A and B are shown apart, each in its own frame.
Chain A
Amino acid sequence: MSKRQLYLLAIILAALGLMVFAYKVFWLKFPLSPQERSYVWNVEAMLKFSARGGAVKVSLAIPTSTRQFAIMDEQFVSRAYGVNTVEEEGGRRAVWSIRKAQDIQTVYYRVVVLRSPRDPAPARIKPPPLPPHRFGGAGLEAAKSLLATVHARSADLDTLVGQLFERLNNPRPGTNLPLLLGRKPTKAKKVELAVRLLSLADVPARSVHGLHLAGELRRAPLLHWIEVFDGKAWRCFDPQSGQPKRPADFLVWWRGTSPLVKADGADRTRVVFSVTHNLEASLTAAVMGTKQTRTQWLRFSLFSLPVSTQHVYRVLLLLPVGAFILIILRNLVGISTIGTFMPVLIALSFRETRLWGGITLFCLVVALGLAARLYMERLKLLVVPRLAAVLIVVVFVMAALSVLSHQLGFHTGLSVALFPMVILTMTIERLSIVWEERGPAQALKQAAGSLLAAALAYLVMNIDEIGHLVFVFPELILLLLAATLILGRYSGYRLLELRRFKVLAAEKN
């Protein structure tokens, strides 16, 4: 009777989960697989400079909302500086000012941009005014001569720009070019020269500076492109190849000749850009962007939560998956682990450290902690102080490993913040008791079992598709619950029991 009830309950749960899942897939058209393309990006510009001790005014070019990228949010972070933004030719600038500042100063500009799902067609505009070419004297002659050669070899605008950049990028530039470019030609300088040369040829052009939004970049390079007016609209050209090409996912930071940073009362300015995906916001944008925007259901979905909370749930919703793996390993296979769900927590921390880094870290910390703990056995400490002592050792070991790995140039050691130290401490304590009471072999066996379970749970939880499915379709966890309930009544043999009782089967024959 109770078994029938259980199956009924499991079927209801599974059916419910599948129904909601099907509704979301077929009706609301939620994406089934993780998005290839991110829609929302966080970009940060860190501006460092050294102040001379007096009044300081620094300004940084900042982006403007375009039809391709909409600015959702922006922040100006600094300590005690006055901040305002000014509009100018070619874009906006953020200005930080302070009466008195000394030494190295850092200010941040953070922006969240939403990329439009479709690339907008270039807008038709009236011909812009021709910018002044500002050539004079010998420079003007050199420029004219250069332009004449390029012009002779081209047929239309595309080939003109193509030929121009071929000359500019030529490793053997001849005599005219070094005069115009100076001794160390950078890409930015070349683009700037190209703008002036085109202006001399009566073609309006402007330089574009921006970032390529792709992947996670700690130090995103600033890229320089050129836009040329073809009589109807602005067209983008790649300064490397000279080909007319619109860069994908290219965030325009500013246009024109003004520098990225202007500083009064400070020098040695440096700007570092970093670019990160905003997975949750991207997904929200993708989901909300579908035609069912006004569906009441979405109000009660995870997408209605703030992005930072969504990020937490992205991790939390993986816990049921990990727990399910543990059920399989413990009740179907028969692996013994230390603590029921300790391996799941260890697996979660592997997300930060990656698998091998995590396993190495786990082994090192547990081994060193265990050594300390076994030594403490001799000191005859009471339980709570002893646990606290082990915890302190664990934290120290962790810190030491981080410093060491940083010095050696590994980065896994740094991302240990999530490593559950208290859990590790309890693991060490349990292990040391098993070690004392049942010998090292048994202790190692249990530790290995836990590590194996953690690694397997991690590998499954780390599959992108699984993370995506449980986050976008949390109702699938009802299916998991149904399966868990059924497994809860599984009364067959465990895999390892077959080995244990094999003698009995052999006896019979």
Chain B
Amino acid sequence: MFRIARELKQIGVLGINRRNAEYTLWYNPRKYYPLVDDKLATKDLAQKAGIKVPELYAVVEFAGQVGGLHQRLDRYADFVIKPAHGSGGEGILVIAGRTGGRYRTVGGQLLEKEDLNHHLFNLLSGLYSLSGQPDVAIVEYRVRVAPVFEAISFQGVPDIRIIVFLGVPVMAMVRLPTRMSQGKANLHQGAIGAGVDMATGHTLHAVWKNLIVSEHPDTSQGVAGVEIPGWRDLLELAASACGLTGLGYVGVDIVLDKEKGPLILEMNARPGLNIQIANRAGLLARLEKVKQNIERLTSLSDRVAFSREQFAAPA
């Protein structure tokens, strides 16, 4: 037992206690949390800084607005409903189209208007929000899967999670939805996590549940060695988005849209630690390296270059 602990420490694996005690509590001042916990605020912030986000269709704040929503959404063929304060991908409803008078989810399930309303009422009353507080529903553009990921995702849209520390991207992974995760890109719901080579943007190993996998369980396509297009731009996007929030240790979630390119989906002030398993590398070692060199990394391009040079996957 102590042997495992010692080995993990040597590799530089970050545990929850250390993440909280030495990173999130230390580098993420509480007052900036609302900026990332409220997806509406994040969207606003990013847009003002000229960073692209999925287009906002509607916001539902009160139960009274639920009835009128259907009419407002008439002109959109598809959309996504999500709680502004949701966590872990809970409470997200993806509508891919309409069949007759009913809504069709991305999974092919047909929903009556009442079903949609019920979901909204639950959402508004805070069922999915972090602390059970009354919440706000966001209705936004449904991202289309970019061609590069089409073969290795099931139903939903994969996202790219990049951990940024003090403006330096330190680790990344691609989260691929599966049948098990019902199209959602959350690892604990059964999505695949694939580590990414910070230098080149090639995917490395992939983890599904606790298994190391080389191909997507639903599409049987290989998940390692896929090149993510425009990797350098993605790193810069993540680094600059992190700078907007005032937080030092952030997980930035980016999606690649077929037409609109990279969009910032959300940011997370307490990003999970499974990314280490997907990359088979410890975060702590990389974070320490950033701490030592942060003085001289003054510009955005410096920081991205540092990341690509230092955190390249071993050949």
Contact = CB atoms under 8 A, between A and B. Distances in A.
Contacts of A382: 121-122, 125
A264 interface: no
A383 interface: yes
A497 B15 contact: yes
Nearest to B19: A491
Mostly, the A contact residues are: helix
B15 A493 contact: yes
Nearest to B20: A491
Contact of A497 (B7, B16, B122): B16
Point out which of A382, A384, A433, A497 has the most chain B C-beta atoms below 10 A from its C-beta. A497
Given A501-B276, A501-B277, A491 B17 contact: yes
A384 to B, nearest CB: 7
A437 interface: yes
A380 interface: yes
Contact of B15 (A488, A489, A494): A494
Contacts of A490: 17, 21
A259 interface: no
Contact of B7 (A331, A433, A491, A505): A505
Contacts of B115: 380
Interface residues of A, number: 28
B15 A507 contact: no
Nearest to A434: B90
B210 interface: yes
Contacts of A493: 5, 8-9, 13, 15, 17-18
A509 B212 CA distance: 17
A383 B119 CA distance: 11
Point out which of B8, B21, B189, B276 has the most chain A C-beta atoms below 10 A from its C-beta. B8
Nearest to A493: B15
B11 interface: yes
Point out which of B11, B16, B210, B282 has the most chain A C-beta atoms below 10 A from its C-beta. B16
B153 to A, nearest CB: 20
Contacts of B127: 383, 433
B158 interface: no
A492 interface: yes
Contacts of A126: none
Contacts of B189: 437-438
Contacts of B280: 503-504, 507
A492 B118 CA distance: 44
B5 A498 contact: yes
Interface string A293-322: 000000000000000000000000000000
B4 A383 contact: no
Interface in B188-215: 188-189, 210, 212
Interface in A75-103: none
B49 interface: no
Nearest to B22: A491
Interface in B20-77: 21-22
A184 interface: no
Given A503-B210, A505-B4, A494 B16 contact: yes
B126 interface: yes
B10 interface: yes
Contacts of B121: 382-383
A134 interface: no
A503 B276 CA distance: 10
A191 to B, nearest CB: 68
A507 B276 CA distance: 12
Contacts of B16: 334, 494, 497
A508 interface: yes
B11 A508 contact: yes
Given A383-B122, A493-B5, A504 B188 contact: no
Contact of B118 (A380, A507, A509): A380
Given A382-B125, A501-B276, A505-B11, A492 B188 contact: no
Given A384-B125, A498-B5, A503-B277, A508 B10 contact: yes
Contacts of B90: 433, 437
A502 interface: yes
A509 B18 CA distance: 24
A76 to B, nearest CB: 52
B282 A504 contact: yes
B181 to A, nearest CB: 11
A235 B10 CA distance: 80
A508 B189 CA distance: 28
B125 A501 contact: no
B21 A491 contact: yes
Nearest to A383: B125
Interface in A423-462: 433, 437-438
Nearest to A382: B121
Contacts of A380: 114-115, 118
A169 to B, nearest CB: 67
B1 interface: yes
Contacts of B281: 504
Contacts of B5: 492-493, 498
A498 B1 contact: yes
A317 to B, nearest CB: 28
B17 A504 contact: no
A502 B10 CA distance: 13
Given A382-B121, A491-B22, A493-B8, A504 B13 contact: yes
B7 A508 contact: yes
Contacts of B11: 504-505, 508
Contacts of A500: 277
A509 B7 CA distance: 10
Contact of B13 (A489, A491, A495, A501): A501
Nearest to B9: A493
Contacts of B276: 501, 504
A371 B294 CA distance: 55
Contacts of B9: 493
Contacts of B13: 493, 501, 504
A435 to B, nearest CB: 13
B14 to A, nearest CB: 9
Interface string A369-385: 00000000000101110
Contacts of B1: 495, 498
A490 B115 CA distance: 46
| 3 cross-chain pairs, A with B, having the tightest CB-CB distances, nearest first | A491-B18, A383-B125, A505-B7
27 contacts: A380-B114, A380-B115, A380-B118, A382-B125, A383-B126, A437-B90, A437-B189, A438-B189, A489-B21, A491-B17, A491-B21, A492-B15, A493-B9, A493-B15, A493-B17, A494-B15, A498-B8, A500-B277, A502-B4, A503-B210, A503-B277, A504-B13, A504-B282, A505-B4, A505-B7, A505-B11, A507-B280
